[in-house]
Amino acid sequence: MTLTTSFKFIAPMLALLASALTFNASDARAEAPDKRTITLAATGMVRTTPDKVDITTGVTTEGQTARAALDKNTEAMSQVVDGLKAAGIEPKDIQTTNFSVSPVYEQRKDGEAAFITGYRVSNSVHITVRDIGKLGDILDKVVTLGANEIGSIAFGVSEPEALKDEARKQAMREAIANAKLYAEAAGVELGPVLTIAEEDGGYVPRFAAEAAPMAMGKAAPIEAGTATVQARLRVTWELR
């Protein structure tokens, strides 16, 4: 038998053997049972007393010219910022968040084009107050000094990570308890944890009602309430 004849005989045999091996491997994968799993989500929450509050305040002024409106705004806003610093607010806790100059339009008759009657200047700052007990006095001070806009008031926690760790533990304990309950009800055993994923969490600030932009005879009554730090987990176990 020549070498060429031998190759012609062996090549088909090798191809047939490779096909058989591929077929057997596919069968083995198909027969392997998929893992049975259970996935549950749980949330842990820790409530605490807020130790800071974030507010926005500012001044809006109008004038016949943009220059006049800006001068009035600059004078009032400078008094507000100086008053905040005098009340103990550090410069790093005062940040400008909005400054705008826009025309004021008036339309006296229907169908007529609106025309400019003046200009409006708005300047707002974000303030972090780290002594909540002073909040009422600070609000009274900024209004007295010329602030005519006070936005949302949000109570929060300066360093929530330690509390969030406790919330994570609570969430995991809740997830384990629920997983055991479901496994027992289904007549199966809970196997090892396969995955743990943390979803969006953090702390949930508490928002107070918007303060009225007018002079106050005494410190505004502000209640801090509680802030909530939470963690959400999604955990997957193998079932046996």
Q: Hey, which of 33-47, 90-104, 154-168 has the most confident mean pLDDT? A: 90-104
Q: What is the mean pLDDT of residues 143-171?
A: 91
Q: What is the mean pLDDT of residues 76-89?
A: 94
Q: What is the mean pLDDT of residues 161-174?
A: 94
Distance between CA atoms of residues 11 and 9, nearest Å: 6
pTM tops 0.75, yes or no: no
User: In the chain, what are the domains?
Assistant: 49-158 (3.30.70.2970)
Please give the pLDDT value at position 94.
Answer: 96
- Residues listed for the chain: 240
Please give the pLDDT value at position 205.
Answer: 54
- The answer to whether 127 touches 89, Cβ cutoff 8 Å, is yes
Query: What is the 8-class DSSP label of residue 91?
Result: G
Please give the pLDDT value at position 219.
Answer: 59
Distance between CA atoms of residues 197 and 218, nearest Å: 50
32-73 pLDDT, tens digit per residue, is 467 899 999 999 999 998 999 999 999 999 999 999 999 999
Distance between CA atoms of residues 235 and 176, nearest Å: 9
178-224 pLDDT, tens digit per residue, is 999 999 999 999 999 999 999 876 655 554 444 434 344 455 666 77
Which has the minimum average pLDDT: 20-29, 111-120, 144-153? Answer: 20-29
- Side-chain-side CA neighbours of 51 within 13 Å: the count stands at 7
Q: What is the mean pLDDT of residues 113-119?
A: 91
Q: Which helix (H) or strand (E) holds 59?
A: strand 52-63
- Percentage of the chain beyond pLDDT 70 is 77
Single-letter amino acid code for the residue at 86: A
Residue with tokens 């979803």: 199
Give bridge partners of residue 118 from the DSSP assignment: 104
